[in-house]
Amino acid sequence: TDSPPPIYLLVADDSGDEGRKPACGHPLARRPCSTMAGLNVVQQAVPLPAACQGVAQVFAVPLSPAVGPPAAMRECLRHAVHQSMCSTLAEALQSDVRQLSVLRAPGHAPVLRLGSQVLTAIRFSVAYTGAFALWAWSDRAAVGVDVQAIPVDGDDTEWQAVARQFIGPAAQRLAPLQGAALRAAFAQQWAQLEARLKCAGLPLSEADARPVGWDADVQCVPLPWHAAWGDAAAVLAWRF
């Protein structure tokens, strides 16, 4: 049976101790984190293709158990992502996790704060799908990350029309496809679009409304997304 890669529990630790303990004999280890409403918060480092190794780090954060109204689930998942960010960056910065916090404004990428200092050199990007989140950080490049669930149904003509309207010329590659193959390719292209837009700091808009050269020098690669987490396409974009 195909099983997901090891996932490590972020254990609630009221002491704030950032000491790391071996987990399942794996070189990764448990990190302290908070939980909400009895939910287990986990994170999994996403292996990166060779093209972007050393540029960024990417983590998947599933919510377990995935129950409750969508709005409440999203808020819990957002909290889990912020805790994951603080825990990961505390280690990278060799700082006390209690001094780190995440600032969030609608329509903007999260920003990390150390005490009263805003760390603008560290760039984040976050994406959500259902009970999962994907987040990336870098201190070398602007980053954008996205994950899109693959639609299970829908009219082929409508998918093609949406692709032409928003994705632009690249949507031509979808023209020969039908059914499940079209929906999977659409999700991949849409994830690429969203990741590129986030990297460039632009909102979603129709293709002909975006400025010429908006994604110049933006590089983009697909990310592995385990089937046990649901059918989805995940993408990382970056620009130096």
Tell me which DSSP letter residue 68 carries: S
Q: Which residue has the higher pLDDT, 21 or 3?
A: 3
Determine the pLDDT at residue 226.
84
To the nearest 10°, report the CA torsion of 186, 140, 57, 125: -50
pTM of the complete model: 0.81
Determine the pLDDT at residue 184.
96
Determine the pLDDT at residue 3.
40
Determine the pLDDT at residue 66.
64
- Is the pLDDT at 59 greater than 50? The verdict is yes
Can you tell me the distance from the alpha carbon of 111 to that of 120, in angstroms, rounded to the nearest whole number?
7
Cβ(18)–Cβ(30) below 8 Å: no
- Is the pLDDT at 148 greater than 60? The verdict is yes
Q: What is the mean pLDDT of residues 228-233?
A: 88
- Is the pLDDT at 123 greater than 60? The verdict is yes
Q: What is the DSSP string of 111-125?
A: EEEETTEE-TTSEEE
Nearest to 100 by CA among 37, 202, 87, 209: 87
- Is the pLDDT at 222 greater than 50? The verdict is yes
Q: Quickly count: other Cβ atoms within 10 Å of residue 55's Cβ.
A: 19
Q: What is the mean pLDDT of residues 227-231?
A: 84
